[in-house]
A and B are shown apart, each in its own frame.
Chain A
Amino acid sequence: MSKKSMYLSISIITMILGIMLAIQFRTARFIEQSVPADRAQELVAELSKLEKDNIKLDGEIEDLGYKLQQAKKGQSQAQAAILDELKKARMMAGIITVSGTGIEVVLDNPSSPSRRTSISIIRDEDLLRVANDLKGAGAEAISINGYRLISTSEIRQAGSFINVNLNRIEPPFHILAIGNPEKLRSSLEISGGLVDYFRDLGIVVKTQTVNSVTVPGYGNNLQYRYAKAVKG
């Protein structure tokens, strides 16, 4: 009886032991193949931390995107303003071709040689006076024989020729001006004005208001070699 129970319990106990050992073998093998428990916990903690970071950074992306959008909006506005300013500046400098209502003045020496006297020859000062009167009447752009008058333009006698923008020009002189046509014309044709004066001298003058006159831009390279901007 005692022996029997001994055998029985030994068998059962060793069986239980066998099961325990086998499970332990398998568990150990499983652990070898997989990440250690503490490492897994570490990774889980890291993952949750990174997820939190991710959410935070997502918010930041949104925020920065909004700011960027605002900045872009501002930038395009600023760019448009700068381009507008540039266009205005170029127009004021006279380097772009412009068109508008205006007046065309043609000055020529008398056609028949017999009527040509020394005073009927057109000189630089005649052209200067025309330009001056046109400017006084509010001309916004003036050109003489296709040469645009800008702030540095000269109209200067060079022997028997006249130089404009360092280019030699010859009669007949076509002067184009953009502005109020009536004002421009009346400033020249006022009695005792330039037109009367030229006719007295024997110079052929024609004035004509034009609905659309195109004044070319200054063709040469505009460079300041000596002048430098002073910062105010």
Chain B
Amino acid sequence: MWIGLWLAALGLVIGITVGLNLPFTVPQAYAKYMSVAALAALDSVFGGIRAALEDHYDNRIFITGFFSNALLAAGLAFFGERLGIDLYLAAVVAFGVRLFQNLAIIRRHLLKK
């Protein structure tokens, strides 16, 4: 189990290093969608770690969840923008709450063992 966590941390570090050295940034107009998508992706990863700790990890659910959550969050923000409603707030709140729940559960699992 610890290998998974270490791999996750390692992947994150590599990703951040690569990302910081990529030569492009997101255009300002899309920065909002990107931020919500990143939040959703973060939530998915924590969800995956939690599932792994609870031993009902499913690779397909994890991968599809990751992408669909990110796309849904970005789509929601985009749609909200068109409608004039700040729908991305819904994504931020929903994923934020879930993020904390997942973190709490992961913490408990780690402390129990």
Which residues of A are at the interface with B, using a C-beta cutoff of 8 A?
2, 5-7, 9-28, 30-31, 34, 36-37, 40
Contact = CB atoms under 8 A, between A and B. Distances in A.
Contact of A13 (B10, B22, B29, B48): B48
Nearest to B62: A9
A81 B40 CA distance: 88
A55 B12 CA distance: 55
> By CB atoms of chain A within 10 A, which of B10, B38, B42 has the most?
B38
B15 A14 contact: yes
B29 A20 contact: no
Contacts of B3: 7
Chain B binding site: helix, strand, loop or mixed by DSSP? Answer: helix
Contacts of A30: 25, 28
A15 B66 CA distance: 12
The binding surface of chain A is classed by DSSP as: helix
Given A13-B62, A18-B12, A6 B52 contact: yes
A6 B59 contact: yes
Contacts of B44: 13
Given A6-B52, A21-B19, A12 B11 contact: yes
B26 interface: yes
Contact of B14 (A13, A18, A24): A18
B19 A22 contact: yes
26 contacts: A6-B52, A6-B59, A7-B4, A9-B59, A10-B7, A10-B62, A11-B10, A13-B11, A14-B11, A14-B15, A16-B41, A17-B38, A17-B41, A18-B11, A18-B17, A18-B19, A19-B15, A19-B18, A23-B26, A23-B34, A24-B34, A25-B19, A30-B25, A30-B28, A36-B28, A40-B28
Contacts of A14: 7-12, 15, 45
Nearest to B70: A20
Given A18-B11, A18-B13, A27 B26 contact: yes
A122 to B, nearest CB: 109
B41 A20 contact: yes
Given A26-B25, A27-B25, A19 B19 contact: yes
B1 to A, nearest CB: 10
Interface in B26-70: 26, 28-29, 31, 34-35, 37-38, 41-42, 44-45, 48-49, 52, 57, 59, 62-63, 66, 70
